[in-house]
Structure 1
Amino acid sequence: MVLQFDMPARWRGFLEEVCHERITDLVHEYPDVESIEVLYEELQAFDPDFARQAIVNPVETLRSSNAALEELLKDLTQGETSKIPGKVRLVELASSENILLEKIRDEHVGSMIALEGVVSKISYVRPRMQHAAFACDCGHVTYIRQHDEQKLIRPLRCEAHEGGCDRDNRATRWRISHEQSVRVDSQSVELQELPERVKSAQIAKRMSCLVEGDLAGRVVPGDRVVFNGTIFRRPIRRGSMETPVFELFFDVHSIERKDIPLDEIKVSDEEIEKIMELAKRDDIYDILTASIAPSIFGHKHIKRSLVLQLFGGVSRVNDDNTRSRGDIHILIMGDPGVAKSQLLNYMSDIAPRGQFASGLSSTAAGLTAAAIQSTDGGWTIEAGALPMADLGLAAIDEFDKMSDNDRSSMHEAMAQQKLSIKKAGINTTMRTRCSILAAANPAKGKFRDPRNDSSGRIPELTQQINLEAPLLSRFDVIWVMIDQPAKEEDRKIGAHIVSNRQAGTPEWLIDQGLASAPISKGANIETKDGQILIDPDFMIKYVSYTKKTVHPTLSNLAKEKLVEYYVKTRISGGGSTENLDLHGVGEGVEDGRGSSLDSVPITARAIEGLVRLTEAHARIRLSDEAGVEDALSAIRIFDHWRYTLMGDNFDETSIQSGRSTSKRNIERNIKSFIILENERTTQSIHLNEILTEMEKHGAKPQQVEDILDHLVNAGDLFRPTGRDNYQPV
């Protein structure tokens, strides 16, 4: 056992022997750096008993370490740099000291432990009085150490033996001398259990933490960290009364950032061999597709795109320091009851760092972030689903019903993959480097297919949901799931649902202990009805391993194929690509897609999405180079979702503008006609004249009236003498 009086001398010996170079660097780098880090294994190698004291008696041990460091700093600088705080930060504790948040108990109070989690909330950094200097009316100054931020401790008497007037606090007045007081930066941080450690149907455990000194301001919501420090108690208050029940808090001594993506998911050598064997199979893509939500019948093309989303492309930083995202964003628009939510739930379960959220979120943070006023009157920033899913996948149901606050932030979160927070005096940036899988419902309850409409009044499918055009354009893939009666298909779906439901274990048997709940089979690969399926746990490891080790680049031939597809599609107006050797590209997609001078079948932004899909396809087979076949597979998916959404005449401009090509053409003709007639006659133009003229262009009366209303509301036209007369503004 190391005795208490040995502590400063023992620390000095350790610091001189092991940390001399770090201390010298501290002298040169101060004030940018105010402390040195010491590995626990270094302390253990120096003296195991001494190292153990830092765990069982951390307050006294670390106080001695700081005192010893300050003495060494004075010796190194001959007293010139005595103002360096001289903090020793102990990091990388033994694994036995790493405690799960849900396992924290009163027995851990007072010992140094490590807590790993994700930062979910931060306050702004405020100064806290550490040593308060109180000046008496007589001029004597009394110094009082302030133990925490809860209550300011004042002197009881101006002590005579210290040179004071010997009056108590009722007979004199005290004034805080800020010049002589010592303050420290202080911040409240909330740490949440890692999502992958939270069991199904359980709420993630959270711990309120106090971060001070040079550690304050170092983390933002969404950061994965290890906090090393000590647990302390505070009584829960009811009004002004303290109760016998205590709340646990964490005093942070040091911070370790977990910046290595997916490092928390361990893959054994045996599992790596299985992954390599799978990646070599010719049917690996079919196996992975079948393994996505096997209980949901059909939707093969959608599931295949979800597989590519899981693996993702490669994020890159360009020469001009801009960032190109590798994460794939997918939107599923669908009628109620077509299994959108089930797909999202499954994806959030099998994706590393997956998060499931709803646009109708009940939390203040919502999908992005929110400023929340705390009980002490200060403000904290709480992270929403996207920052918490950093380097993972965010599955967002009811995406069309998100709050106005989330809508305003979603553009930056999806495109730049960050959130700039400037609220309540807190200026920070959160990272949202995650794939987004979103689901949205039609605004009027059910989709109406404009391709089956002869009146021209039914809007495009993308205009039947409550999402702005700029936000829609951020998605790489947009699927639509329309619930239409089809006898044979409905029979298959019904049979699948009934048989799948009967195969499940009754929940009451599980609750009464009469049957076991279905358990994950680990890294095993199972076969069901002749189809090989990958177990969800093994799927997570497969995805994690590839994302950490495989970073494909496009071959020259793959680049040429994507560029050729892009150019051919633009030239053909979204029509035939028969001269492009696609080997089955656009399967189920007819040629002869008509063009329009006002329509743009594909934009440059789409190329980036194609590159991401191509890289993901190569990553699945563990290839460092994405070849022609990868590019062709990406094009097939790309062509299929575009055809499903708009049929033969795909118009990307309609997604970006929110209006179809035909409506834009009619709108342009109406404006031109009214302007020319007004210039010729200097009179307003009657509705009947407009309808007669537009009928020559194939426009139906109701279409024309709807567009006229839109132009009036937009301020392009006005009605000078009543509803049926129009003039240009």
Structure 2
Amino acid sequence: MGEDAGIDSASWRGMDGWIAYFGDLGPEGEESAEFIAKQVVVDRLQTFFLEPGWRFLKDIEEYDRSFHLDFNDFVSESPMRSIEKAIVDSPEDSLPCIALAAARALESQGVFCERKPQSPIELLVPRFTGISNLTGMKDLNSASIGKFLSVQGHVVRVGNVRQQVKSLVFSCCKCGKEFTQGFKDFKYASPMECPNAPTCRGHFFRPMTSSAVTCDWQGIRIQENLRDDVREVGRMPRTLDIELVSDLIDSCNPGDTVTICGVSKALNVEAGNNAGGRASKAKTHSLFKLYIDANSVASSGRSRKRRRKATDDDITDEDLTAFEEISGDLNTFELLAHSICPSIYGHELVKAGILLTLLGGSQKPETTEVCVRPDIHCLIVGDPGLGKSQLLKATTNVAPRGIYVCGNTSTTAGLTVTMVKESGSNDYFLEAGALVLGDEGICCIDEFDKMGSEHQALLEAMEQQTVSIAKV
């Protein structure tokens, strides 16, 4: 990219904008085939954003750190036919191209007047949502590394917010040359040689810690959603670690159902268990684990003020048609009650009680500090062999969010929340239990009479619908 007359090199259209997203050009410079190919993509996307695609950028303000793009809309309107394949197969190259094109389009429209590539403000990042093809956790393997994909699951663990080093200035101990070293995926690595080589052959460098550029980082863990028809016999539900950065921090809570779009990557197991990944064991072990570097997070968690208020996205056309047909039935309540576990004949009163438990009462306006619980609890008592367990399992399948546990094998921590100490540091994080995972849904506890002292852990959750944690 030659610097045209009138284009400031420190602008997003200049060389500094390119280096901010892609780093140094390398020995071949602007003559390299990779640079020329990326420049063609950036130019075409910039032209697209300025004319037909300006609606994707019109709401961005000066200091926004990201902007959201609907994946299907962007792919269908993009001038490049291969853009979908490029995003899925090469997200490390395609996402910076989209971001740089958007930054240049915004700068030409006078939006990025004060925001420069060399400023400490974080770079603009495109965040894709609405990918229809979800990838199951059982389908994640070595072929998925480096791909842009979407996964869904329950949040079972949320870590504390920490700071990761993105770049650091080093000083050569021999010639005194200072230079900046970037760390990809926050993996610390000391420089191998001095930039003045072969004039200077220094191999020892002093880090200038005061010059470190950091960003917020948070780790969460999700567990796959399994129904009875897809659950694998003899296997525990799979879990997957997710890394959140920048404005994605604190975007979900334990118990939320989330859809994560991001890049699948591999991390050395020993490096992942030690802060900063500087353990010497990591160099001698070749065992790696998969994780997702999140690009966007869509959470189903709702505040209590919005509770039980359906949105247009929650109801489909098929649901509206079914509502109209059911509303025309004279015995609507009886029809709904009989629809719960139809394989068990009778027990109309029990099914009616379960139906009322699923629906709950009307949410009271939060005008006072006193919490008025609108939901009811249901206790099913009966002789063995009457189908109590089958009714509970059918209830969890009917509810949008349902958790089934057996009381004789449950613990207090397994029902509420577990405080777990993170390996490699002294930080504690929360791991959700059955009640937290069933928040805004239903939690069915079988063999309730076989529980020991675990009943005490349910008092607060059943009365106040909260779980309190005190850790000193």
TM-score interval (norm. to shorter) = 0.7 to 0.9
- Give 1:26's aligned residue: 61
- Give 1:392's aligned residue: 441
- Give 1:55's aligned residue: 88
- Give 1:331's aligned residue: 379
Q: Secondary structure at the match of 1:253?
A: strand
Which string of whole-angstrom CA distances, capped at 9 and with x for unpartnered residues, describes residues 273-310 of structure 1?
Answer: 56544554444444544554566676543332112212
Alignment of 1:351-390 (within 5 A): 351-361=399-409, 365-377=413-425, 378-390=427-439
Tell me if structure 1 keeps the 8 A contact 2:193–2:201. Answer: yes
Tell me if structure 2 keeps the 8 A contact 1:359–1:366. Answer: no
How many angstroms apart in 1 are the aligned matches of 2:283 and 2:192? 23
Which string of whole-angstrom CA distances, capped at 9 and with x for unpartnered residues, describes residues 469-525 of structure 1?
Answer: xxxxxxxxxxxxxxxxxxxxxxxxxxxxxxxxxxxxxxxxxxxxxxxxxxxxxxxxx
Which string of whole-angstrom CA distances, capped at 9 and with x for unpartnered residues, describes residues 642-675 of structure 1?
Answer: xxxxxxxxxxxxxxxxxxxxxxxxxxxxxxxxxx
Distance change in 2, residues 1:283/1:218 (3 Å): closer
- Give 2:300's aligned residue: 258
Q: What is the Cα deviation at residue 402 of structure 1?
A: 6.1
Matched, 1:349 2:386: no
Which string of whole-angstrom CA distances, capped at 9 and with x for unpartnered residues, describes residues 395-424 of structure 1?
Answer: 02344676878845x444334434455658
Q: What is the Cα deviation at residue 315 of structure 1?
A: 2.5
Matched, 1:414 2:414: no
Q: Secondary structure at the match of 2:255?
A: coil
How many angstroms apart in 1 are the aligned matches of 2:163 and 2:93? 24
Matched, 1:46 2:42: no
How many angstroms apart in 1 are the aligned matches of 2:77 and 2:329? 49
Q: What is the Cα deviation at residue 128 of structure 1?
A: 0.8
How many angstroms apart in 1 are the aligned matches of 2:41 and 2:463? 54
Tell me if structure 2 keeps the 8 A contact 1:221–1:383. Answer: yes
1:152 to 180, 185, 188: 188
How many angstroms apart in 2 are the aligned matches of 1:180 and 1:391? 46
Q: What is the Cα deviation at residue 48 of structure 1?
A: 3.8
1:177 to 208, 221, 226: 208
How many angstroms apart in 2 are the aligned matches of 1:421 and 1:106? 39
The residue type paired with residue 435 of structure 2 is L
How many angstroms apart in 1 are the aligned matches of 2:182 and 2:229? 40
Distance change in 2, residues 1:228/1:158 (3 Å): same
Q: Secondary structure at the match of 2:392?
A: helix
How many angstroms apart in 1 are the aligned matches of 2:69 and 2:453? 47
Matched, 1:95 2:132: yes
Tell me if structure 2 keeps the 8 A contact 1:317–1:323. Answer: no
Matched, 1:204 2:240: no
How many angstroms apart in 2 are the aligned matches of 1:326 and 1:254? 33
The residue type paired with residue 47 of structure 2 is G
The structure showing larger relative contact order (alpha-carbon pairs under 8 Å, at least 6 residues apart) is 2
Tell me if structure 1 keeps the 8 A contact 2:98–2:126. Answer: no
Q: What is the Cα deviation at residue 197 of structure 1?
A: 7.8
- Give 1:315's aligned residue: 363
Q: What is the TM-score with the length of structure 1 in the denominator?
A: 0.49
The residue type paired with residue 248 of structure 1 is L
How many angstroms apart in 1 are the aligned matches of 2:470 and 2:100? 39
Matched, 1:125 2:167: no
Q: What is the Cα deviation at residue 183 of structure 1?
A: 0.9
How many angstroms apart in 2 are the aligned matches of 1:111 and 1:208? 16
Q: Secondary structure at the match of 1:95?
A: coil
Q: What is the TM-score with the length of structure 2 in the denominator?
A: 0.72
- Give 2:28's aligned residue: none
Distance change in 2, residues 1:159/1:292 (3 Å): closer
- Give 1:626's aligned residue: none
How many angstroms apart in 1 are the aligned matches of 2:322 and 2:238? 34
Alignment of 1:567-578 (within 5 A): none
Q: What is the Cα deviation at residue 229 of structure 1?
A: 1.0
How many angstroms apart in 2 are the aligned matches of 1:7 and 1:26? 24
Distance change in 2, residues 1:287/1:5 (3 Å): closer
Matched, 1:104 2:164: no
Unaligned runs of 5+ in 1: 425-729
How many angstroms apart in 1 are the aligned matches of 2:45 and 2:195? 35
- Give 2:254's aligned residue: 221
How many angstroms apart in 1 are the aligned matches of 2:127 and 2:180? 29
Alignment of 1:386-535 (within 5 A): 386-399=435-448, 407-408=456-457, 410-419=458-467
Q: What is the Cα deviation at residue 330 of structure 1?
A: 1.7
Distance change in 2, residues 1:46/1:351 (3 Å): closer
Tell me if structure 2 keeps the 8 A contact 1:44–1:50. Answer: no
How many angstroms apart in 1 are the aligned matches of 2:386 and 2:79? 64
Q: What is the Cα deviation at residue 180 of structure 1?
A: 1.4
Greater share of helix? 1
Q: Secondary structure at the match of 1:366?
A: helix
Distance change in 2, residues 1:133/1:313 (3 Å): same
Tell me if structure 2 keeps the 8 A contact 1:44–1:51. Answer: no
How many angstroms apart in 1 are the aligned matches of 2:311 and 2:407? 26
Q: Secondary structure at the match of 2:122?
A: coil
Distance change in 2, residues 1:235/1:284 (3 Å): same
Distance change in 2, residues 1:287/1:43 (3 Å): closer
The residue type paired with residue 168 of structure 1 is H
How many angstroms apart in 2 are the aligned matches of 1:416 and 1:248? 39
Tell me if structure 1 keeps the 8 A contact 2:169–2:180. Answer: yes
Tell me if structure 1 keeps the 8 A contact 2:67–2:125. Answer: yes
Q: What is the Cα deviation at residue 194 of structure 1?
A: 2.6
The residue type paired with residue 134 of structure 1 is F
Task: State which structure, 1 or 2, has the greater radius of gyration over its C-alpha atoms.
Answer: 1
Matched, 1:192 2:229: no
The residue type paired with residue 159 of structure 1 is P
Distance change in 2, residues 1:130/1:401 (3 Å): farther
Distance change in 2, residues 1:389/1:263 (3 Å): farther
1:86 to 123, 128, 134: 123
Distance change in 2, residues 1:198/1:34 (3 Å): farther
For these two proteins, the number of residue pairs brought into alignment is 411
Which string of whole-angstrom CA distances, capped at 9 and with x for unpartnered residues, describes residues 296-346 of structure 1?
Answer: 676543332112212333334334587654432223456777654443233
Q: What is the Cα deviation at residue 127 of structure 1?
A: 0.6
Tell me if structure 1 keeps the 8 A contact 2:251–2:299. Answer: no
How many angstroms apart in 1 are the aligned matches of 2:167 and 2:431? 31
Tell me if structure 1 keeps the 8 A contact 2:162–2:217. Answer: yes
Tell me if structure 2 keeps the 8 A contact 1:70–1:85. Answer: no
How many angstroms apart in 2 are the aligned matches of 1:415 and 1:107? 48
